[in-house]
Chains A and B, each alone.
Chain A
């Protein structure tokens, strides 16, 4: 009796795990933002702010609609500073699924995008890097263009990717 109930519970748990895998169920996102010093030269310069989909307009009013249409669940954002000079912002959008992240990434691409090895797909520009990994869409923007900017952004992006 007890043995058969144990088997039933184990089977049920396995079914839940498999169902989750089959639907692309995402793991709960822990803090995706590298701590100060974790990436050479980069300091985390603000607290992380988190916006649920219904509140996203408070952060990106006017731009929120495309994220909502693509199935955004929440957006986390934090500011960074590189070697005390270059300022940047990291946005991590958690979408319902990978298709939503792909939709946003592809919609925003322009001819001057340079493909980079980040996550499932990524592009970089002189002052920004954007990539997707599973249901996550990450956008990193720098506010100045310096000779160091592209490489520094790439390093920060790799640091975020490793935490997703």
Chain B
């Protein structure tokens, strides 16, 4: 007998194949993203926090059926389009390869939820992206399995594989303090990447791991980038052109999280924000996520990250004049909570 999760996966995969027959609409990179890029730097960065208090049941079981609705709400709020297909056409170039960079490094229990990945894949295909033009990826097969995903390189379906299969570029690229070899999935496969990080405390380094830290999974030796609370390494890494230009949208998984003792699964500090955090400005997204963690820590009686000696300094660095990756100024953010 199939487990509930397996059933939902199978059902979603079937829907993905049906969706692939929809006519592709070639919009290039027009839409919300380019409109935002054209706006003056003085414009506010939009960040949407979409919540569903009933997402997790009393026993901590995720109601996977509600994830699609939550995603649709978040994307509708972000784009201003109620119909998901129209909304997605404003976000992605439907005739290009779209990468979905998940995060499974924390292991089972604190990795990007498969239900979210499948919901996005379904909408992408309904918008006209061919299944084989969707690449769900992480560092390796184990990290993908931690998300509840299965490796597949079959081009007739949504592809899902790690850098252990895709490989890394031979030549390193550098910005500021970092010199890294990038994953070929990023450099050669994807025209655009949507980051799907999971919200976590990072107790030994950067304080909070979310949108920008998720890019540690696109380099060959992330372990070299943890010094000094990952500052300025996270900001520098995100300034590398392939990352800065291709990773243009974040759908952050804050459905469950660890507010202390991360980035590993720490059941004693697990919490269910039951939320998605969506935005193009990765700095604003990370700032918003950080504040969410701080509120939970205060509620739980845990010291602030600053008091714990790990304020996420990289967020301010990413916003500074040397990086200009986005804003960490709440006055320059348009935060929508739904």
Binding site for B on A (CB under 8 A): 49, 57-58, 60-66, 79, 87, 89, 108, 110, 112, 125-128, 141-146
In contact, A141 and B267 (Cβ under 8 angstroms): yes
Nearest CB of B to A140, in Å: 11
A62-B202, A62-B226 known; A89-B107 Cβ under 8 A: yes
Is B263 within 8 A of A63, CB to CB? yes
Which residue of A62, A63, A143, A145 is within 8 Å of B108 (Cβ)?
A143
Closest 7 CB pairs of A and B: A127-B267, A57-B223, A62-B263, A125-B268, A143-B109, A61-B105, A63-B264
How would residues 209 to 234 of chain B score, 1 for a CB under 8 Å from any chain A CB and 0 otherwise? 10000001000001100100000000
B interface residue numbers (CB < 8 A to A): 59-60, 105, 107-109, 140, 142, 202-205, 209, 216, 222-223, 226, 261-265, 267-268
Q: Chain B interface mostly helix, strand, loop or mixed?
A: loop
Q: Specify the chain B residue showing the minimal Cβ separation from A55.
A: B223
**Inter-chain contact B261/A64, CB cutoff 8 Å:** no
Q: List 16 A-B contacts (CB under 8 A).
A: A61-B222, A61-B223, A61-B263, A62-B226, A62-B264, A64-B223, A65-B204, A65-B205, A87-B108, A125-B268, A126-B267, A127-B267, A143-B109, A143-B265, A144-B59, A145-B60
Return the contact of A128 from the options B216, B223, B268 (Cβ within 8 A).
B268
A127 to B267, CA, bound (A): 6
Rounded to whole angstroms, the CA-CA distance of A60 and B203 in the bound complex is 12
* Contact yes or no, B59 A127, CB < 8 A: no
Q: Name the residue on A nearest B140 (C-beta).
A: A58
Rounded to whole angstroms, the CA-CA distance of A63 and B226 in the bound complex is 10
**Residue pair B107, A128 in contact (C-beta under 8 Å):** no
Asked if A108 and B223 sit within 8 Å, CB to CB, the answer is no
Name, among A61, A126, A127, A142, the residue most crowded by chain B CB atoms within 10 Å (CB to CB): A61
In the complex, are the beta carbons of B226 and A65 less than 8 A apart? yes
Closest B residue to A112 using CB positions: B268
- CA distance in complex: A26, B60 (Å): 41
Find chain A residues with CB under 8 A from B261 CB.
Answer: 108, 110
Q: Which residues of A contact B267 (CB under 8 A)?
A: 125-128, 141-143, 145
Q: Which residues of B contact A65 (CB under 8 A)?
A: 204-205, 226
Cα A49 to Cα B141 with chains together (Å): 13
Contacts of B226 in A (CB 8 A): 62, 65
Q: Is the CB of A66 within 8 A of B268?
A: no
In the complex, A111 Cα to B261 Cα: how many Å?
13
Expressed in whole angstroms, the Cα–Cα distance for A107 and B283 within the complex equals: 31
Q: Smallest Cβ distance from B287 to chain A, in angstroms?
A: 20
Which A residues lie within 8 Å of B105 (CB)?
61-62
Among B105, B205, B209, B262, the most chain A Cβ lie within 10 Å of the Cβ of B105
Query: Is the beta-carbon distance between B60 and A62 smaller than 8 angstroms?
Result: no
A126 to B262, CA, bound (A): 17
Q: Are A62 and B209 in contact (CB under 8 A)?
A: yes
